[in-house]
Structure formats: structure tokens, C-alpha cells
Amino acid sequence: MGCGHYFFNGLGPCFHVGCMTAYLPWLIFPFCCTAVLYYCYAIYATVDFFRQDHRVDPDFHPPVTILKPLCGVDVNTYENLASFCHQDYAEYQVIFSVREATDPCLPVVEQLILAFPDVDIELVVCDRTIGTNLKVSNLANGVEKAKHDVIVLADCDILVQSDYLQQIVQPLANPEVGVVTCLYNSWAKGWLAGFEALGITTRNHANVLAAHKLEGMHFAFGSTIVIRQAALAKIGGFAALADHLADDFHMGNLPTQVGYQVVLSPYIVEHQLATTNLSEFFHRQARWARCIRVERFWGYVGLLFTFGTTSGVLFLLATQGSILGWSVLVVMLASRWLMAWVIAIYYLHDRVAQRLWWLVPLRDLINFAIWGYGMVGTTVEWRGYRYKLRKNGKLTQIISTG
């Protein structure tokens, strides 16, 4: 009998050649178990978060400066930017910062200034560069015109409702809170954008909510970052982020290192996503993956234990289509779909997930492939430029000689 060679025939173990064939299912099975545990914990973390008392004090409304760094025109740019100018809020300022006077977004800003004459809107055009990350340079140029102590940053592809400012500033009533951030749903134009967005609310946000419950917030998202000027100054201002790819991550992480708290708001904004081709999809996903790997390496490695769909498929193959293999796969898919339903559909009300929930297993398999690809390599593409991502998360632009 040698090594005890066996395989699964659907009823029990049988002897066969090759120790690896015998042991392979049991090497994979623990990953199936940890994935189910993770799905359950993510569901628990989500329910616990949204059931907390997130009261809004209508009398708390500190003056706010909204910083909007702009570069080019994306889908629904006017509507997105206009939503920040149409706030039901006592006092706020909107600063649009642009690097080039020829940028196509300038006519859009001029339209907004005319459409909202009662809103304090300022346009800053400045090509001063403080680092490799041009978005951060844009922010640094704009913040010099800020009139208020509370700064709100949000990417130009974000759409919000008129109660946005009133909701997101609430945690700042606690003086120990230095940063507030929030999750987002995606408005997806086209099937490919929808497929990409499916991974955001059904998986990425599950990771965030699980991490939030387990260790608290130590990072932020470009969808919304509310930061006190005092906290920004204490971390070294935008200059401290000028060469980093993950500027939003550090905007939340660095303040925690100097004594401030980061709070995840229950407010959900809308992200406008219009992926047009597979190359764009792949390069964005690869950039995010490599960015996470560099900034949170062991957290990135730990994701290996959360790929239940992949583990279930591999277990089925390793058991050569056994009854046990099919049973494990069914459990994997059922628990995965349950997590997607609870988080993305029930609590986040994500329209993409409501429409494409049945594609979650395929999205998972592709996500696993991207995770593997992101584990190696240091090159990323961002807004038409190629960069080398160094171990400290900083960028070095790759200059083409061709």
C-alpha cells in the first residue's frame, strides 16, 4: 500500500497511484473552510456596522472646503461635479483644481460657476508639481485657497446626494476623529463596466467591512475623505503623499500613526464607472492589486484564504468530481452568494449586484487570477503613464525611450 495512495470515487477513499493525488484534496480543503468562515464573518461585520446608531445632529455643521482635483472629462462629469455644488448645508466652499489651462474640464467648471452663483466656487489652474503623483500635486495647489478647517476630498467620478456633507461630517463631533471615509456603489455603463463593478460591492467592500470589525479603520478611499486641516498638517501635508500611488490609503493611515481616529461613515456615494475595453479593466485591476500588495503585504497574502469559489472548484477537480467535491462546491457557492446578497444587495442596494449577482462565481475566478498576477511585478499603468512601484509604495515614472 506504500504511501496510502487513494482517490475519491464519490463514496469514499480508494487506493490509487501517487501520494499527491491522495493528499491534494486535504491540502485544498482547509482553504474551503477558511473561506466559509470569512464569508460568515463578513456578513456578521456588515450587519453589526449598519445596525449601529448613526445619528445625525442637524446642529453640527462645521464650515467645509471641498477639494476636487480634475484632469480631463469622464462620463457624466458635469452631473458628478454639480452634485457637490447642490448641497443642503450651511457653509461650504468648492475648489476645482486643474493643472493645465487647456484641460477639457475647464468649460465644465465655467458652466458650474454660472449655474451655481450662490455657491462659493473657486477655480485654481496651476502646474506646480511636488511629486510623481500628479493628483496629489493638484490637491496641494488647490488646498492653498481653502478657507475652512474641514477638508473634503472626493474623486471627480463620484456622485452624491444633497445631504452628503451633513451626513459625512458627523463623526468629527468627536475631536479625536481626524478622518472620515465611506464606501461606494458603482453606476456602470456597459456590460464590462458592470462586470468590473460587481467585484467592488460583492468582494472589496466585504474585505473592508470585515477588516473594520476586526481591527478598525486604518485607511481611506478616494470616494470620500474628510480630514481636518490640523490632521493633514500633522502628517506633513500633501507633500507626504506626493510620490505614493495609494494616496487615499495613506490619507487614512498616516493620521492614525499620529493619534487620530479614522471613521467609516454609513453614507454610500455613487461611483461612475465606464470601462470600455479589457485592457482598461485588466490594468486598473492589476494596479489596485499591486498597490494593496505593497501597502498591506500580509493582508494581501491573507486574501488567499478567502477565495472560496476557487477553492471549491479546485477541491472538486482534486476529488475527480466526487459527491463530496460537488457538495463542498455547493456550500462554497451558497455561502458566497449569501454574502453578496447581504452586503451588496440588502445593505448597499447596489444595482449592479442586483442585476448580475449570478456572475459572482465567474468574477471570483477572474479576481483570483488577478490576485496571483498582482503578487508579482512592480509596473503599473495610470492615466496613460507607466510607473514602477517601489517597495515603500512610491512611484517612479518609466520614461519610454522608443
CA dihedral 31, 33, 37, 40 (to 10 degrees): 110
**309, 364 Cβ separation under 8 angstroms:** yes
Cα separation, 185 vs 280, in Å, equals: 19
> DSSP state, 174?
S
Residues 6+ apart with CB under 8 A from 352: 185, 186, 188, 194, 197, 198, 201
Return the number of other C-beta atoms located less than 10 Å from residue 147's C-beta.
13
- Asked if the 64-277 domain carries CATH number 3.90.550.10, the reply is yes
Q: What are phi and psi of 96, to 5 degrees?
A: -100, 125
Cα separation, 263 vs 220, in Å, equals: 9
In tens digits, what is the pLDDT along the chain, a chain of 402 residues?
344 444 445 444 444 445 556 789 999 999 999 999 999 999 999 999 999 988 899 999 999 999 999 988 887 899 999 999 999 999 999 999 999 999 999 999 999 999 999 999 999 999 999 999 999 999 999 999 999 999 999 988 999 999 999 999 999 999 999 999 999 998 888 899 999 999 999 999 999 999 999 999 999 999 999 999 999 999 999 999 999 988 999 999 999 999 999 999 999 999 988 877 888 899 889 999 998 998 889 999 999 999 999 999 999 999 999 999 999 999 999 999 999 999 999 999 999 999 999 999 999 999 999 999 999 888 888 777 788 888 778 888 776 554
pLDDT at 400: 57
Pick from 34, 4, 6, 21: which is nearest to 328 by CA? Answer: 34
Grid coordinates representing 288 are 489596485
Cα separation, 402 vs 195, in Å, equals: 35
* Residue found under cell 514602477: 388
CB burial of residue 240 (10 Å; 0-12, 13-18, 19+) = middle
Cα separation, 234 vs 255, in Å, equals: 8
**299, 23 Cβ separation under 8 angstroms:** no
Grid coordinates representing 5 are 495512495
Cα separation, 388 vs 402, in Å, equals: 17
pLDDT at 15: 44
Using only C-alpha atoms, the chain has a radius of gyration, in whole angstroms, of 23
Sheet containing 385-389: give its strands across: 379-382, 385-389, 395-397
pLDDT at 75: 76
Cα separation, 366 vs 285, in Å, equals: 10
- For the chain, the domains span 16-50+297-389, 64-277
The whole-model pTM stands at 0.89
**326, 316 Cβ separation under 8 angstroms:** yes
Q: What are phi and psi of 172, to 5 degrees?
A: -70, -10
Is beta strand 120-125 parallel, antiparallel or unpaired with respect to 92-98? parallel
Residues 6+ apart with CB under 8 A from 70: 96, 97, 98, 103, 105, 109, 138, 156
* Residue found under cell 474585505: 207
Cα separation, 362 vs 141, in Å, equals: 43
